[in-house]
Structure 1
C-alpha cells in the first residue's frame, strides 16, 4: 500500500474513511507484486492499482461495497478466464488474492504513523494481518528502523511483540513479504499471516572510477532507486559537475573510502577503474564484505590477470567466486550508455535471481516470487 502513501496520508490527516484493497498473495504471472494497493474514498475517488488494469473495475465495486456497508474485510481471488480472456480475470495467466477493508483513520493510528515515516523518507515497516481471527484481520502495526513501535506485553496485545520483531527483520532486508506468526505459547496463541510492507532507505550503488561509464551508470543507478556514490582518487576527475546524477562524489582512494563507509546486503559495488593499483586493494576488501554485488570492468585478459593478483594477495577462492567480471550482461554494448545498461541489467538479474536470458526462450512464469523468511 506504500505505493499510494501520499494520498493515503492526506486522507488519514483529513480523517476521511476509505476502502483499501491490498494484493496479499500472487501466483503465476500476476502483473503487480504483493503489497500493491488501490484505495477508494467516500466520494468515489480511486488511487493506485492492483493489477495494472485487468480487474480494477471489480475491485473498485468491492471497495465501494465494503466502504458503504461497513462489512468486515473481504477476500477476493482473481485469475485467468479460459472462456473469455476479457472477462473479469487476469489475461496474463496469473492469480491474485485481494484483501478489501474499510479504513477509519482514527481506528488505525499505526497506519497514519507509518505513512508519516514514509513521506519523511525514514525507514519503516507496516505489518498488516491478512489471515487469522476475524477480529484481527486488517489490523495494522508500525515498526520503525530505530526500534520504535510496540515491543509486546504489557504495553500491547499478545500478537504485537511477535509481529513487530518479524516486521523489523524484513525491514532490515528492504523486502515486502508475508510471514507467519504465532500459534504457540511463546509468541501469541493465534496463528497469524502477516503482510509486511517495508519502506527502507535506498540501497547504495558505489561506483569506483570517475570515467565516462560511471556517468552513464550513475544516471541509470539513480533511476533504479539507488543512492549513488562515485569515488575516484583523482580530484580533478571526481567532481559533482561531471556526475550530476550521483548523490555524492568523493575524491579518495577507493579502498580507503570503502573501508570507512556503510554497506549492507543490498549494496552494489561497481569497479570501473581497471587499474591494478586501485583495483586490487579495493576488490580484496569488497569481496570480503557483506555486500550484494561486486563487479569489475575489464577485458577477459584483464580479468585473468586481476584474478592472479588477487590470489597472490591472499583472497580466498570462495570470495573470488563472488566477483562479476567482466562486468555486465552480454548485450553487445558499445557506448557508455549501452555498457551502463548491461551492468544495471546484471545487477537486477543478480538481485532477483534472474537468468539474464531472453524471455522469448524461457518457460514457466515470468515473475519470480521470493518468499519472506
Structure 2
C-alpha cells in the first residue's frame, strides 16, 4: 500500500466519521501476475466515494458496484481470477494471469476501526504490526495490532487471552505481507520523509513529485524569499534555517542537498553524515561531489570510505532527460528503488567513483608531496577514471571550486 493511498484511505475514513457505513477491501494473497501486492487496499463508501486501488482497474468497478453485497453477512474472503480461461467463482478473463484473495469487511466493525487507527498512527511516525486472522472454515474475522515494541494495542474480543501469546509470536516471526495459516501479517513503517536542503527552482518539482508519491516533504533554505510556503504548497514544512539541527533528520529519513552553494553543501553534508539517514544524496557534477565528499568527511571526522558508503553522489538514477522535472524524476525514482528494495545495490556507483586505481595513493603522495593539493590527495585515489581526471580533481584549489552545480 503506497503512502499516498494510505493517506487517502485514512483521510476518507476520517471524512466518513465514526460508525459510518462502508466496505474496506484488502488484498491478502496473490498468485501469478498482479498489478498490486498483498496489503493494497480499497475503501468504498455508499455515496460512491472511494480511496485506494487493488488492481490496474480490472476489479474496482465491480467491487464498488457490489460492495454492500460482499459484506451482507459480515466480513468475508473472496477469490478472484483474472485469467482468460478459469472456473473461479468470480472470473474476469482479462488475461492478467493472476489469482487474488480479497478480504471485505464492514468499515464500522471494531476490527476495521482498529486497522484504520493503525494506518493513521503510521502517518504520525509510529510503527505498527497488524495481524489479521481471516474469516474462513467457519471462523470469524479477528485482528490484533502491535506497536514497535510488540505490545498489543488492540485484539478482537473473540480472541482468547491464551491464544494471543501464540498469535503474537507467529506474527512477530512472519515476514511482511505473508500468510501463516489463516494469519495475514503486515508491518507498516512510518510515513517516509524527505528533507530537501535548498529551495531553488529545481527543488519545487522534486517536492511536488515526492508529495505525489506519498512522502512527507520538508524544505530548508537560508533565504526567506526562497523558503516560502507559497512556493512549496505541497510541503509539510518550509523552514528558513542554516543548519541541520533546525529540522531533525532521522535514520529512516531521506535527505537531499541542492543548495547550489559549495560551502553550504559542504557544511550541511558534514552535519548529515554522522546522522546516517537512510538516503543521503548530493546534487552536482562528479568532480564537485568528489571534492565535497572529501572535505565533508574530514570535517565530520569520518573515513572517506564511510562517507562514500552513506552518500549518493551524483544523485538520482540515470534516466536521461534535462531540466528540473527530469532531475526530480531521477531522484524520486532512486528514492523509490531504495526504500522499496532493501537489498538493491546502489545504482550510481559508477566507474568514476569506484573503479580500480590507476594511480596508487603512494604514487600520488610522491608526486605532490606536501603541496597545496595535499588535503585532497588522501581522498582522490577513489576518483580514477583516468590520470587526467585525477590530476584535475586534486589540483582544484578552494579558489577554483564552483559555487553552483555544473
- TM-score range (shorter-chain normalised) is 0.5 to 0.7
CA distance in 2, matches of 1:72, 1:233: 53
Asked whether the 8 Å contact 1:151–1:164 carries over to 2, the reply is: no
1:323 aligns with 2:311: yes
Which structure has more relative contact order (CA 8 Å, sep 6+)? It is 1
Superposition TM-score, scaled by structure 1 size: 0.68
CA distance in 1, matches of 2:302, 2:18: 55
* Distance verdict in 2 for CA 1:211–1:163, change over 3 Å: farther
1:178 aligns with 2:177: yes
Q: Secondary structure at the match of 2:239?
A: strand
CA distance in 2, matches of 1:246, 1:32: 27
Superposition TM-score, scaled by structure 2 size: 0.63
Of 268, 279, 285, the residue aligned with 1:282 is: 268
Give structure 2 stretches of 5+ with no counterpart: 348-406
For the pair shown, which has the larger CA radius of gyration, 1 or 2? 2
2:130 aligns with 127
Give structure 1 stretches of 5+ with no counterpart: 171-175, 182-190, 358-373
CA distance in 2, matches of 1:72, 1:235: 53
* Distance verdict in 2 for CA 1:129–1:306, change over 3 Å: same
* Distance verdict in 2 for CA 1:10–1:135, change over 3 Å: farther
Asked whether the 8 Å contact 2:218–2:238 carries over to 1, the reply is: yes
CA distance in 1, matches of 2:328, 2:26: 35
1:249 aligns with 2:250: no
Q: Give, in angstroms, the shift of residue 274 of structure 1.
A: 4.5
Q: Secondary structure at the match of 1:291?
A: coil
2:112 aligns with 111
1:81 aligns with 2:103: no
2:335 aligns with 347
1:36 aligns with 2:36: no
How many residues matched?
330
Q: Give, in angstroms, the shift of residue 124 of structure 1.
A: 7.4
Asked whether the 8 Å contact 2:144–2:155 carries over to 1, the reply is: no
Question: What is the root-mean-square deviation in Å for CA atoms of aligned residues?
Answer: 4.5
Asked whether the 8 Å contact 2:195–2:219 carries over to 1, the reply is: yes
2:142 aligns with 139
CA distance in 2, matches of 1:256, 1:40: 42
Cα deviation, 1:115-168, whole Å, max 9, x if unaligned, reads: 357579655747352458846552123456796724899x97234466668989
Q: Give, in angstroms, the shift of residue 30 of structure 1.
A: 1.0
CA distance in 2, matches of 1:213, 1:117: 35
